[in-house]
Chains A and B, each alone.
Chain A
Amino acid sequence: MDDELAISVRGLRKAYGDNLAVAGVDLDVHRGEVFALLGPNGAGKTTTVEILEGYRQRDAGEVRVLGVDPARPDPAWRSRVGIVLQGTGEFDELTVAEVVRHFSGFYPEADDPDKVIERVGLGAKAKARTHTLSGGQKRRLDVALGIIGRPELLFLDEPTTGFDPEARREFWELIRDLAAAGTTIVLTTHYLDEAEALADRVGVIAAGRVVEVAPPNRLGNRQEALATVSWRTTDGTRESAETATPTALVAELGARFGGEVPGLTVTRPTLEDVYLRMIGH
């Protein structure tokens, strides 16, 4: 059922001179899924995504995006794909409403510009020249331009870089909204909490290869990993133990201390721990 795949990639390779940026990536993204591509700078994230977006040519491999080879993008395919790039240019002299309205003219199934502006939270800024927007507001405009054509598939390249925590939460809500409406979303990010909060599945990319693909809570067998129980002994030093049965150990500690266990913590490897191990730190 190829139809259920929004993206299918086999053996993707891309080199810049001697530098092999993408060294054989395999990837499937299902329709309606939120997929996060996670990886350090220079891992090949952006190169991979830009090949999928039809911006770059690949050296080798099979790629299908919405059933089409993105190496030969045509307007019909472009109208089904929304793209939010990193740091794309603004139209300094134009207002938010003018830019969104202009771009809506490129798409056959365009959404109502005013509605989209409202939806990304720029309603109050519709008449403002884009150069007066803050960084976060410019990013919202980027998203407005990415979704104005009502895409089936939306690419977001590091969408919340430079956001304050509140703006990020609001942005996540917007992404969840789009996902709930059935849009397939592929996002790249540095932020592990972002991948964890938004993605149905996470692909970790390191040194040009996909190291693992899994739901965020299963990445690196996180669920099955041993828990670490840590507490303070009576002489003040910290002690810890790795165990598959943390509840039993906590109960035993409770009995030993006759009540509260001083400084008790129970942790499992965070996504960050798992991720850092995977990319080789």
Chain B
Amino acid sequence: MTTTTKPAAPVATVPAARRLGAGALALRQGRLEITQFLRSRESVVFTMGFPIIMILIFASIFHGEIGGGVKFTQYFITGMIATGLMTVSFQNLGIWIPIERDRGVLKRYRGTPMPKWVWFAGKVIMVVAIGVAETALLLLVAVLLFDLKLPDTAAKWFTFGWVAVLGVTACTLCGIAISSLARTARSGSAVVTPVALILQFISGVFFVFTSLPAWMQQVAALFPLKWMCQGLRSVFLPGSFGGQEPGGSFELGRVALVLGLWCVIGLVLCLTTFRWTTRRDG
């Protein structure tokens, strides 16, 4: 026997008890992801800064009203919040995961006893934390500089909450899923950026949605961003504006349905296509 030369390590038959519980592991992973995000200047500038820069530009260009005493800012903030949430989840993950996969960071994690879900949990925690911080910053800028009116009822805040959660969930899952399309580190942003940009244009982020051609509205209605914007309009615009939506109301039920459906689609794509290693790496 070679017991004398064995290092102190658990025996095969005894399942290794992790020192840290599942929750602690996930929180540590989330903290690590947030640290990495915040220390990467490009991420902070482009992911967090973009929507704020956009609202500054838009609010400075359009001083007018969209009618009924409601300022343009009140309309654009909904698009900017939705865009910001999509940027931090869909674009952020769709660009960074291929880089991490290409560099072998994911492969390294796979070689440790870390349960797979912990890595995903870390990404989700990062997306949620950055998303909340960014939205708060966006609202703060809009309130201070452009007299944005915040939602005035608990019901509106509740709607704000669930639209944001469902939207971020759908976009996070789709971001993880689309990351598998990129073959190399550099192609991640080439895959994701056009998709995000087109969705922003056709979903009513930069223009009033109902002024877009009908066919464009119908294409946009297939994807989550349009519904995130619509849900947020119900929060930031007076209830009377619902009548001007394409469906004749803010259709919150349909918002929940479509976003929920995209969560399911995203999850299925993640579970079936996610890769821990690059293609050439087996």
Contact = CB atoms under 8 A, between A and B. Distances in A.
Q: Do A and B come from one complex?
A: yes
Interface of A: 1, 3-4, 16, 30-32, 50, 53-56, 66-68, 75-81, 83, 85, 87-94, 98, 102-103, 105-110, 145, 149-152, 181-183
Contacts of A76: 10, 12, 14-16, 113
Contact of B7 (A30, A78, A182): A182
A75 B115 contact: yes
Contacts, number: 125
A80 B9 contact: yes
Interface residues of B, number: 41
Interface in B32-46: 32, 35-36, 39-40
B1 A3 contact: yes
A229 to B, nearest CB: 42
Q: Name the residue in A3, A79, A94, A181 with the highest tally of chain B Cβ atoms < 10 Å from its Cβ.
A: A79
A75 B113 contact: yes
19 contacts: A4-B1, A30-B2, A31-B2, A75-B18, A76-B15, A79-B10, A87-B104, A89-B105, A91-B105, A92-B40, A93-B39, A93-B40, A103-B112, A107-B19, A108-B17, A109-B9, A149-B112, A152-B9, A181-B7
B144 interface: no
Contact of B100 (A50, A77, A85, A89): A89
A107 B25 CA distance: 11
Q: Is the interface of B mostly helix, strand, loop or mixed?
A: loop
B9 A106 contact: no
Nearest to A16: B282
Nearest first, the 4 A-B pairs at minimum CB distance are: A89-B103, A89-B105, A75-B113, A32-B5
Contacts of B190: none
Nearest to B103: A89
A90 B36 CA distance: 12
A90 B16 contact: no
A114 to B, nearest CB: 17
Contacts of B102: 89
Contact of A90 (B103, B112, B277): B103
Contacts of A92: 40
B2 A102 contact: no
Contacts of B35: 93-94, 98
